[in-house]
Structure 1
Amino acid sequence: MVLGTLIYIGWRAARSQANRPKTRVIGPDDDPEFLWRLSHGDNNPR
């Protein structure tokens, strides 16, 4: 009985990890200000 409970808990934990959304990498194309500076020329370089 105890072994079955441990297996069930482990299976549930593994499933909850699999359903978690992947972290998303934010790139420069996600920054509207960066895109605006690319298209309009950067008069104020940093």
Structure 2
Amino acid sequence: MPTERDEEQASVDEALERETHHEKTRDAAHEQGEIQKQTREHDLDG
């Protein structure tokens, strides 16, 4: 049976996983924005 400490650690681990996922999502969105910007600047979109 999980102890209170186990539950606290699981909560911390879950929060860290969510933060990592958020950072990766944010970084990917930023990278996509940079790609779109470069595409527009070099008239490669049409």
TM-score range, shorter chain: 0.3 to 0.5
Q: Which has the larger radius of gyration?
A: 1
TM-score normalised by length of structure 2: 0.47
Instruction: Give the TM-score, by structure 1 length.
Output: 0.47
- Relative to its length, the structure with more helix (as a share) is 2
